[in-house]
Structure 1
């Protein structure tokens, strides 16, 4: 395990220090327009000719997310401003992958929609719809746990979104509650997947090699240096962790670096009676089928939608 632990330790350090994720706003205000959006960037004019930036919704690394008003229509959207001049080559390539993935997924169910992109000499501006309910992690913290009925509604939407993403041959690679946004403050079930900063096209099975994601949610095959690679099936492991948290109120894999790495790679987790005694066997069976160390035995999103618990 030495190589794995060294690799994982470096991953954790980058995860904590170099990959600061954008926070999500739960403030209310004018709604994003739902009408067909005209891409102003095609005019060749700069971003500032069309948009006025407002309050900061989140920031991290070399990017900030602002609430922005469209000058002509007055409609409100979210704009991600990336300081591309400060990015290294690998990060610029990742940004290109993120934009390409979001354009490919545009119009898909329960996925944050990318509406326009302005690529200027030192900055890239990504115009997106804005969700007003904060993120799923905040909602879980407020509720502590979801009932099975509540969780089933949320899971149906989550599985549908992942099914669409994967059928488009895209791996998200950072599924976690912080990257699941609540559409409205008073709705526990309407969600949208966001943050495609690690997204990558899957051109063939097991074609991905990069160690990325968030430590507690990353799949065993992503961590294992001896594996043949991974693909979008790694996302379904992360989905399994999210579902475990929804029903149990805590993460299945925790602890110091070495313990966390070993637990994930062995699939070493438990349904503690204190928290799981009242949860149905169907629910636990589904989670176990998602948290399969062997990715070939893991449920796909389409299969998860058809499982007995659903």
Structure 2
């Protein structure tokens, strides 16, 4: 069969369905196979009726040269991703298929993640849409890298940057909320990544903590946008109408029949909700963590929330102002990603001071020191700004586990569509 088997082993020389070998796989993308270059001969061997490559790319509004590039960057590899990668472990699975950690056969220092999708388990249009988005996306430091695509008659495999730190969701569950000093560099990068995506006509449509991945398991790890399975290419004047994504982070206009659809500001709403969760440890529409799902949905669709909880008292005015300008029901009044990047809380080299007497620790070790009552004179350096030493008040410290409140709106799998 080509590609990756369910047990992560290279395919045998015979096809999986019998003695006859399966048709060859095809590699596509900017760096699908090291040392292999696209060729006219390889392009000629492309199956003309494969819906993955017969996308009507003109409908996306992308430049003609980009559309033609998508169809030309094709090379035959014969055995799918396992020709070039050893499978090391299974990183997870979902309705689409599985994700594996893999190592390049000829470059042992190169490790990647292989997202393997079974054609029979996913709509052709879904794979088609995700492929077009990934190829049009390009590269950005705030987005999980895309290195190409392999296809066989049974499976489609995306080669992606390996993220070793896991999901932001799991980090929050196990270690609690971020301080502003911890969150600001990561969320500045995410904001710039969103602005970049929107400038290329891409709406993510499923921003949530599960789709933000940490590069490493550390408090200062880079966080990158992942999973473009629901993303869509969009013209500047276009509106989308499909109901999809995760309701706890979906902008109100998606469910508002009175509005003519939604656009890129759908993503900035989700960014605002996530930032609120990251800084406080609770969902803005379920601050106490016990509301029924229908109540949370009603509050989200009507942008009913406030700054009344104790955690907000410790937050800086710029942080509150940014979130206030993002979690706005009317998209016309909501910040775009380009506007968001210029907000004072996210501006480069802007030192952030918490309110007087607020928790200001920048790593787990500070929580251990809090019992001594000693002032903090050291701080973890912000890679994008100066080191700031701040006083520490142990009486107001909330431990990381206390700064996380489970909510029905935060659980994985609460999807729309």
**Contact 1:109/1:164 (8 A) holds in 2:** no
Bigger mean CA deviation after superposition, 152-161 or 257-266: 257-266
Q: Pick from 311, 326, 334: which aligns with 1:290?
A: 326
The separation in 2 between residues aligned to 1:250 and 1:267, in whole angstroms, is: 16
Which runs of 4 or more aligned residues in structure 1 lie more than 6 Å from their structure 2 counterparts after TM superposition? Answer: none
1:55 and 2:89 aligned: yes
Deviations 1:116-159 (A, max 9, x none): 21111011111111011111112223331211222221221111
Runs of 5+ consecutive residues of structure 2 not aligned to the other structure: 1-29, 37-73, 347-417
The aligned runs of 1:138-149 (5 Å cut-off) are 138-149=170-181
CA–CA distance in 2 between the matches of 1:258 and 1:137? Answer: 22
What TM-score do you get using the length of structure 2 for normalisation?
0.62
- Note if 1:118 corresponds to 2:154: no
What is the CA deviation profile of residues 240-270 of structure 1, one whole-angstrom value per residue up to 9, with x for unaligned ones?
0011011111111244343223211211012
- What number of residue pairs does the alignment pair up? 272
The question of 1:157 aligning with 2:189 is answered yes
Local SS of the residue matching 1:158: helix
User: Counterpart of 1:280?
Assistant: 316
Match of 2:161 in 1: 129
Does structure 2 retain, via aligned residues, the 8 Å contact 1:139–1:188? no
Higher relative contact order (CA 8 A, sep 6+): 1
Q: CA RMSD in A?
A: 1.8
Work out whether 1:221 is the aligned partner of 2:224. Answer: no
| Alignment match of 1:303 (pick from 327, 330, 339) | 339
Aligned match of 1:42: 75
Query: Which is higher, the Rg of structure 1 or of structure 2?
Result: 2
Aligned twin of 1:76: 111
Query: Following TM superposition, by how much is the alpha carbon of 1:82 offset from its aligned partner in structure 2, in angstroms?
Result: 0.6
Instruction: Choose from 121, 139, 147 the match for 1:107.
Output: 139
Q: Which runs of 5+ in 1 are unaligned?
A: 1-35
1:85-109, CA deviations, whole angstroms, 9 ceiling, x for partnerless residues?
A: 233xxx2212211121122122123
- Structure with more helix by fraction: 1
Is the aligned partner of 1:67 residue 2:101? yes
CA distance in 2: counterparts of 1:205 and 1:191, whole angstroms? 30
Equivalent-residue separation in structure 2 for 1:62 and 1:165 (angstroms): 23
Please give the per-residue CA displacement for 1:188-238, whole angstroms capped at 9, x wherever unaligned.
341111000100011243520111111110000012122210011100000
TM-score (norm 1): 0.83
SS class of match (2:206): coil
Q: 1:189 to 1:289 in 2, by over 3 A?
A: farther
DSSP-derived class of the 1:297 partner? coil
Tell me the distance in 1 between the aligned counterparts of 2:150 and 2:202: 23
Separation of aligned partners in 2, 1:154 and 1:220:
26
Question: Which string of whole-angstrom CA distances, capped at 9 and with x for unpartnered residues, describes residues 43-92 of structure 1?
Answer: 342213222222110101131001112222223211011110233xxx22
Whether the 8 Å contact between 2:264 and 2:336 is mirrored in structure 1 is no
Check conservation: 2:32, 2:159, Cα contact below 8 A: no
